[in-house]
Chains A and B, each alone.
Chain A
C-alpha cells in the first residue's frame, strides 16, 4: 500500500535552515509528481510546492518562493524540502503528498493529492 513518511521537523530559530524528507513506498515513485502542503496550528491547508515526476520542473507558492526548494531522489524514493531563511509564519505541520496524475493538459496532468503522509511539525521560534 502507498506510504509516505515525513521526517526532519523540529524547532529552529528564525533565519535558519531546515531540510525535510519524505520516504515513499508502495508505488513507483518515479512516475508521480509530488507535493508539499502545510498547515499552521489551527489554520487551513496551504499548498507549498510541487515537483514533477522526473524532477525536471518545480513550482512554488509565492509565500515560499526564493526561500524553499523542493527536490527528489528517485533512486532513493525520497522527496525533500529545503527551507532557508525561516520565519515565524512558516511554523506548521508539513505534509508530503502524491499527485493523482489525472489533471488537465495545462498542468501537465497534475491533479492535487490522492495520498498524504502524516506530516512533520516545524516550529520557528527563538
Chain B
C-alpha cells in the first residue's frame, strides 16, 4: 500500500497569513492526489484534484502543486472560516490512502 505523510500535524496562523502544508507519498504517484478540507463535525470537502486543479467553486486562494512523491497545499491568505483539518489522498493505486491530516487554527 502507498503510505502518505503530512507536515506539520498542526499549525496556528493569523488571519491573512500564507499557510503551507506538505504531503509526501511513499512511492511515485504521478499527480494523482486530492486535497480535502474537513471542518469540525462536517463531511470532508474536495478542494483540489490532480495535485493542482481547483474543484469547481473553490476560492482561488487555495492552490496545490507537486508531482511524483512531494506535494504542497497553500492557502494564500487564511480566512477565519478556513479553520479545519486538511487531508491529502492518493488515488494512484488502491487502496486510496489518506494522509494523517493537518489541523489549522487561528492564532
Residues of A that sit less than 8 Å from B by CB: 35, 37, 44-47, 50, 59-62, 95, 100, 102-104, 106-107, 110-114, 116-119
Q: A45-B87, A112-B46 are in contact. Are A104 and B95 (CB under 8 A)?
A: no
Whether the pair A104, B30 counts as a contact (CB closer than 8 A) is yes
B47 CB, nearest partner CB in chain A, Å: 11
Pick from B13-21, B59-67, B68-76, B97-105 the stretch touching chain A.
B97-105
Residue from the list A50, A100, A119 in contact with B94, Cβ < 8 A:
A50
A114/B93 in contact, CB under 8 A: no
- Contact size range, B: 20 to 34
Question: Could you say which of A44, A61, A106, A117 contacts B43, with CB atoms under 8 Å apart?
Answer: A117
Most B CB contacts (10 A, CB to CB) among A61, A100, A113, A114 go to A113
In the assembled complex, the Cα of A35 lies from the Cα of B96 at a distance in Å of 10
In the complex, what distance in Å separates the CA atom of A103 from the CA atom of B49? 10
CA of A44 to CA of B87, assembled, Å: 8
- CB-CB contacts below 8 Å: B1-36 with A: 1, 30, 32, 34, 36
A45 — nearest CB in chain B belongs to which residue? B98
